[in-house]
């Protein structure tokens, strides 16, 4: 079996792929927004605390589990105890759900790449985004038809994902050598442009000046943990799947550390790019930095286009650079998510990577069309909220309980230490047994309480029931069937 399982080209390829999956749109579109609305620089404290008390320990756990079992999430958990395979499928199902809505942001990015050429958003990028790009309807009940340019963007996204995944992790090994460094270089170009603009320092100051009083607000801490989970692609089977393609002797803990630090470093760095531009924008519009934008999506698709239009020169070129950055950031997260889900099929039924990639895309593309309809934005918003705030949180919690209590975690630590360049101390077990699950439990309770008392934004309950709970719970049903379906017999290429 070991001989036939695919493997990364090299350790560097694995680390690049892991960084590629972690570093995504979240670093540019979510992180600066979360930081911005959580007290600017003060947010960095809970963020880095979350990284070390939950992010890195979970990364070590996931990569280590995948590597040790040589299986993606479903069969890796199934190897611990048979019924846990059900949980593994559910967690991997969340990644399928994420890639289906995550592809929408990539489709917007394609459309904006096109519009950058003529700076078509004109003087009012907000109206442009809502009306000309999204053709937003009045609410989730009014779905309407898919919007053609977005459908084209979506088709391009899925086609790219298919082309990259059809040869399995071998082609991923090559692609990430481009999709990881390229956006970093592009971000650096944008940063130089940003920092040389008037007003940029006000933005940076806003970003970095810590408002320590905000640290008393538990919500800020919860947000930091939530952001770490999303950003490091945890609890969705992604890192387990990628770890499963490591060789039997592969290094684990140091690779996890490098991945975690590179990801958060990129977020921090992207914050400079975003805030230098926001500072410039504020100055140009004569507003305080805190007033130039409000919503997360608005940051990438409204505030940035506004700033780009106001640049003194080469506006279209900077527009193109920005949207190519978003596309290259997002694409390697997208294929990592898809791989997390399809790895389970590769493990269990020995299905070829090409067929898996094709069949998945053929299913996922039509489903993702929902998010590019006129009401699609609202569904996107709801599904994103539920998958991240409920799905990933519960999945992370269960994962900690399984490894911390149902699995010989001490022996697992010895295994990791025998494999790793850096020592995994006892702290690792404590974080998995106590800190991470307690924090996740609190997040879950708070989120549930908020939902029960206030609902979610102005969305009607039926919409949150279908889109929110539906997208999280349907994987319990599908996961059950996938678990119960017998595995392919010993013959053939795998097992």
Q: Taking a C-beta distance cutoff of 8 angstroms, is the pair 99, 337 a contact? A: yes
Distance between CA 416 and CA 410 in Å, rounded?
10
Nearer to ligand PHE, 73 or 463 (CB): 73
The nearest distance, CB 325 to ligand PHE, in angstroms, is: 13
Nearer to ligand PHE, 236 or 276 (CB): 236
Distance between CA 160 and CA 106 in Å, rounded?
11
The nearest distance, CB 459 to ligand PHE, in angstroms, is: 22
Nearer to ligand PHE, 200 or 259 (CB): 259
Question: Is the alpha carbon torsion for 173, 178, 181, 184 positive or negative?
Answer: negative
Nearer to ligand PHE, 282 or 383 (CB): 383
Nearer to ligand PHE, 246 or 289 (CB): 246
Q: Which two tokens stand for residue 274?
A: 């975003």
The nearest distance, CB 333 to ligand PHE, in angstroms, is: 4
The nearest distance, CB 26 to ligand PHE, in angstroms, is: 2
Positions touching ligand PHE (CB under 6 A) are: 21-22, 24-27, 95, 98, 230-231, 233, 236, 238, 333, 336-337
Nearer to ligand PHE, 222 or 337 (CB): 337
The nearest distance, CB 122 to ligand PHE, in angstroms, is: 29
The residues, ordered by sequence, that sit 6+ positions from 90 with a Cβ below 8 Å of its Cβ are 395, 475, 476, 479
Nearer to ligand PHE, 128 or 268 (CB): 268
Question: Is the alpha carbon torsion for 99, 101, 107, 113 positive or negative?
Answer: negative
The nearest distance, CB 29 to ligand PHE, in angstroms, is: 8
Nearer to ligand PHE, 367 or 465 (CB): 367
The nearest distance, CB 298 to ligand PHE, in angstroms, is: 17
* Alpha helices (H) along 51-83: 56-69, 73-80
Q: Taking a C-beta distance cutoff of 8 angstroms, is the pair 242, 65 a contact? A: no
The nearest distance, CB 250 to ligand PHE, in angstroms, is: 21
The vertex-147 CA angle with 145 and 149, nearest 5°, equals 155
The vertex-76 CA angle with 416 and 495, nearest 5°, equals 110
Residues 261-268: contacts with CB under 8 Å, at least 24 apart:
262/19, 262/22, 262/23, 263/19, 263/22, 263/23, 263/27, 263/231, 263/232, 264/47, 264/48, 264/51, 264/55, 264/228, 264/231, 266/23, 266/27, 266/184, 266/187, 267/26, 267/27, 267/31, 267/231, 268/44
């Amino acid at each position: 079996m070991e001989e036939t399982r695919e493997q990364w080209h090299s350790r560097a390829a694995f680390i690049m792929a892991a960084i590629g999956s972690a570093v995504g749109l979240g670093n540019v579109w979510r992180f600066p927004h979360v930081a911005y609305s959580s007290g600017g620089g003060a947010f960095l404290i809970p963020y880095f605390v979350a990284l070390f008390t939950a992010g890195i320990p979970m990364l070590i756990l996931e990569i280590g589990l995948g590597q040790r079992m040589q299986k993606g999430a479903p069969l890796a958990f199934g190897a611990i105890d048979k019924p846990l395979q059900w949980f593994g499928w559910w967690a991997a199902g969340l990644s399928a759900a994420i890639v289906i809505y995550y592809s929408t942001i990539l489709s917007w990015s394609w459309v904006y790449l096109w519009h950058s050429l003529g700076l078509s958003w004109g003087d009012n990028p907000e109206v442009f985004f809502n009306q000309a790009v999204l053709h937003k309807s009045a609410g989730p009940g009014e779905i309407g038809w898919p919007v053609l340019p977005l459908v084209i963007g979506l088709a391009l996204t899925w086609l790219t994902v298919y082309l990259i995944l059809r040869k399995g992790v071998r082609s991923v090994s090559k692609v990430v050598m481009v999709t990881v460094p390229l956006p970093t270089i592009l971000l650096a170009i944008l940063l130089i442009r940003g920092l040389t603009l008037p007003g940029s320092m006000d933005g940076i100051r806003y970003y970095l000046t810590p408002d320590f009083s905000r640290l008393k607000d538990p919500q800020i801490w919860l947000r930091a943990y939530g952001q770490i989970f999303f950003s490091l692609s945890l609890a969705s089977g992604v890192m387990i799947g990628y770890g499963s393609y490591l060789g039997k002797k592969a290094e684990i803990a140091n690779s996890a550390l490098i991945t975690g630090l590179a990801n958060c470093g990129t977020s921090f760095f992207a914050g400079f790019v975003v805030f230098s531009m926001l500072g410039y924008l504020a100055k140009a519009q004569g507003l305080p930095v805190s007033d130039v934008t409000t919503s997360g999506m608005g940051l990438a698709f409204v505030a940035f286009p506004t700033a780009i239009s106001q640049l003194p020169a080469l506006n279209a070129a900077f527009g193109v650079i920005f949207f190519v950055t978003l596309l290259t950031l997002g694409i390697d997260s997208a294929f990592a998510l898809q791989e997390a889900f399809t790895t389970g099929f590769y493990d269990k039924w020995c299905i070829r990577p090409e067929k898996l990639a094709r069949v998945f895309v053929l299913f996922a593309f039509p489903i993702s069309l929902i998010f590019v309809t006129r009401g699609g934005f609202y569904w996107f918003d709801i599904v994103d909220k539920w998958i991240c705030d409920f799905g990933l949180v519960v999945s992370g919690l269960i994962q900690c309980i399984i490894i911390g209590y149902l699995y010989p975690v001490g022996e697992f630590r010895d295994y990791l230490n025998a494999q790793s360049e850096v020592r995994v101390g006892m702290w690792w077990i404590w974080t998995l047994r106590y800190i991470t699950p307690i924090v996740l439990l609190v997040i879950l309770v708070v989120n549930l309480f908020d939902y029960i008392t206030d609902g979610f934004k102005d969305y009607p309950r039926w919409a949150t029931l279908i889109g929110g709970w539906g997208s999280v719970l349907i994987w319990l049903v599908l996961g059950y069937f996938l678990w119960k379906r017998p595995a392919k017999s010993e013959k053939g290429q795998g097992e």
